[in-house]
Amino acid sequence: MTTISGYEYETVTTSPVTPEELQLLKASVLFGPADEAALRQAGEVLANQIEDVLDVWYGFIGSHHHLRAQFSGPDGEPVSRYLDAVRGRFGQWIWDTCERPWDEQWLAYQNEIGLRHTPYKKNRTDRVESTTHVPLRYLIALIYPITATVRPFLEKSGRTADEVDAMQESWRKAVILQVALWTRPYAPGPW
Ligand code: HEM
């Protein structure tokens, strides 16, 4: 098995969010058992297209200065080592989202991902010098491209339009729910 640089899924153990709070969040995005099944299907469909999905997302980030800046050094140039390391973890995250059980371990890594976008942990994993944090507003805004762009990949499965819709919606809910979890370190008070 290849090691993914900086991927510490098994290492982190604590989550400030309880399984009960996760249940309420799932209920709030209307994520139910049918979504769970559709998300598993999406995982199967995306599994052999992950690099292509990442090409689209990295193309998007790379073509916008304010997003590219979050991967850039003090000289304003993108740090390719940083981009490459995060790409490996990003690909793994697609699989984790679709295939991992959303248990306490998963919640603990959600906490870690949130922290890695903020001054608490950004840049630390890859030992790079870059911006102190990803602005929360961009995190929220990126939900749209991260969800809209998977549709063509889901359609390549040749499944029916209804099945593609179900996979797409489950993916959308999963991303919204995770970004909601990642907002916690940005708003430690009245979260
Ligand atoms: C890291 C997903 C928004 C920049 C990551 C990782 C994932 C991820 C899965 C790797 C986590 C790990 O280390 O295992 C997402 C999703 C987003 C989002 C789903 C929105 C829906 C953004 C935005 C930016 C950004 C808007 C700005 C360009 C970064 C950076 C890292 C990172 C710089 C590396 C952080 C570090 O130093 O460890 N993101 N992200 N992300 N993301 Fe995001």
Domain-located, residue 5 = no
Output the six-digit token pair for 81. 């080592």
Residue 134 CA to its chain's centroid (Å): 13
6-25 confidence digits (pLDDT tens): 999 999 989 999 999 999 99
Output the six-digit token pair for 74. 């003090």
Domain-located, residue 107 = yes
Ligand 1 atom at minimum distance from 128 CA: 37
Q: Are 93 and 116 in contact (CB under 8 A)?
A: no
Q: Indicate which CATH number applies to the domain containing 26.
A: 1.10.490.10
51-95 confidence digits (pLDDT tens): 999 999 999 999 999 999 999 999 999 999 999 999 999 999 999
Would you say the pTM of this structure is higher than 0.95? yes
Q: Are 72 and 62 in contact (CB under 8 A)?
A: no
How many structural domains compose the chain?
A: 1
Measure the CA–CA gap between 149 and 171, rounded to whole angstroms: 11
Measure the CA–CA gap between 62 and 170, rounded to whole angstroms: 27
What is the domain range of residue 127? 19-186
Ligand 1 touching residue 109 (CB < 6 A): no
ipTM: 0.99
Domain-located, residue 44 = yes
Q: Are 31 and 170 in contact (CB under 8 A)?
A: yes
pLDDT band at 2 (very low <50, low <70, confident <90, very high): confident
94-118 confidence digits (pLDDT tens): 999 999 999 999 999 999 999 999 9
Ligand 1 touching residue 7 (CB < 6 A): yes
The proportion of the chain whose per-residue pLDDT surpasses 70, expressed as a percent, equals 99
Domain-located, residue 128 = yes
Domain-located, residue 83 = yes
